[in-house]
Amino acid sequence: MPSCLPRWAPGTGTWRSWPAGSTTRATGCAGRPTGTPAPTATRGAGCRDDRRATQGRPGSPAVGLPGGGHADRRIRVAAVLTVEALRRADPARLAQAGLAWRRLAEVLASETAELDRRLVALRAGWTGDAAQAATGLLGSLCAELDAAGPALVGIERAVTAHAAVVARAQRLADTDALALADESDVATAARLRLLRPAAAPPSGSDPVCVADWWRRLSPAEREALITGRPDLIGNLDGVPADARDLANRARLDRLLADPDTRHRPALAAIRSHLGSGYLLALDTGGRGRAVVAFGNPDLADNVVTYVPGLGSGLDGAAADVERAGHLSGAAGRAAPGRRTSVIAWLGYDAPASLPEAAHLDDARRAAPALHRFQAGLRATHPGPAAHTTVVGLSYGSTVVGVTGHGPGLLADDVILVGSPGVGVAHAADLGLDPAHVWASTARHDVINAAASPRDAWRPDLNPLLRPVFGEHTDRLWFGPSPAGHAFGAHVFTSAPGSPINPVQAHVGYFDAGNPALADMADIAVGDYADVR
Could you tell me the CATH number of the domain that includes residue 453? 3.40.50.1820
pLDDT score at 437: 98
**150 and 299 part of one domain:** no
**290 and 438 part of one domain:** yes
**162 and 16 part of one domain:** yes
158: alpha, beta or left? (left if phi > 0; alpha if psi -120 to 50): alpha
Give the Cα separation of 90 and 432 in Å (integer).
Answer: 67
Whether residue 360 is contained in a domain is answered as yes
Whether residue 181 is contained in a domain is answered as yes
Q: How many helices (H) does the chain have, and how many strands (E)? A: 17, 12
**173 and 305 part of one domain:** no
Whether residue 449 is contained in a domain is answered as yes
**45 and 155 part of one domain:** yes
**195 and 290 part of one domain:** no
Q: How far is CA 496 from CA 69, 128, 404, 464, 476, in A?
A: 67, 47, 28, 17, 19
Give the Cα separation of 251 and 245 in Å (integer).
Answer: 10
Give the Cα separation of 511 and 505 in Å (integer).
Answer: 10
Give the Cα separation of 30 and 97 in Å (integer).
Answer: 17
Q: What is the DSSP string of 459-514?
A: TT--GGGHHHHTPPPSEETTEE-TTSGGG-PEE------BTTBHHHHHH-TTSTT-
State CA 30 to chain mean position distance: 29
**288 and 395 part of one domain:** yes
What domain range includes position 417?
A: 282-530
pLDDT score at 453: 59
Give the Cα separation of 298 and 385 in Å (integer).
Answer: 10
Whether residue 209 is contained in a domain is answered as no
Q: Are 312 and 287 in contact (CB under 8 A)?
A: no
Whether residue 265 is contained in a domain is answered as no
512: alpha, beta or left? (left if phi > 0; alpha if psi -120 to 50): beta
**195 and 289 part of one domain:** no
Give the Cα separation of 391 and 389 in Å (integer).
Answer: 7
Domain boundary among 169, 199, 229: 199
pLDDT score at 456: 54
Close Cβ partners of 189 (under 8 Å, ≥ 6 residues apart): 60, 61, 64, 65, 66, 67, 68, 69
pLDDT score at 13: 33
Whether residue 144 is contained in a domain is answered as yes
Whether residue 169 is contained in a domain is answered as yes
pLDDT score at 196: 61
**156 and 293 part of one domain:** no
69: alpha, beta or left? (left if phi > 0; alpha if psi -120 to 50): left
Give the Cα separation of 67 and 54 in Å (integer).
Answer: 9
Give the Cα separation of 98 and 153 in Å (integer).
Answer: 9
pLDDT score at 460: 54
Whether residue 19 is contained in a domain is answered as yes
Q: Are 400 and 423 in contact (CB under 8 A)?
A: no
Q: Provide the number of structural domains found in the chain.
A: 2
Q: What is the pLDDT along the chain (532 residues), one digit of tens a residue?
A: 333 333 333 333 333 333 333 333 333 333 334 344 433 333 333 454 444 333 333 333 333 333 333 333 333 334 456 777 877 888 899 889 989 988 988 898 888 888 888 878 888 888 877 877 787 788 778 877 777 878 888 888 888 998 898 888 877 756 676 777 788 888 887 777 666 654 678 888 999 999 999 999 989 889 989 998 899 999 999 999 999 999 999 999 999 999 989 999 999 999 988 988 999 999 998 889 999 999 999 999 999 999 999 989 999 899 999 999 999 999 999 999 999 999 999 999 999 998 999 999 999 999 999 999 999 999 999 999 999 999 999 999 999 999 999 999 999 999 999 999 999 999 999 999 999 999 999 999 999 887 765 655 555 555 555 555 555 667 788 999 999 989 999 999 999 999 899 899 999 999 999 999 999 999 999 999 999 8
Helix residue ranges, H only, 335-455 = 354-357, 361-379, 395-405
**185 and 291 part of one domain:** no
Domain boundary among 146, 175, 199: 199
Burial code of 430-468, b = ≥16 C-beta within 10 A, e = fewer?
Answer: bbbeeebbbbbbbbbbbbbbbbbeeeeeeeeeebeebbb
**140 and 45 part of one domain:** yes
Q: Residue 118 carries which side chain, given as an amino acid letter?
A: R
Find the helix packing angle between 129-170 and 174-194, rounded to 10°: 170
* Among candidate residues 210, 191, 192, the one with its CA nearest the CA of residue 201: 210
Q: Are 287 and 350 in contact (CB under 8 A)?
A: yes
Give the Cα separation of 383 and 122 in Å (integer).
Answer: 54
**192 and 293 part of one domain:** no
Burial code of 297-323, b = ≥16 C-beta within 10 A, e = fewer?
Answer: bbbbebbbbbbbbbbbbbbbbbebbeb
* Torsional sign, CA 159, 163, 168, 171: positive
* Torsional sign, CA 17, 22, 26, 30: negative
Domain boundary among 142, 171, 199: 199
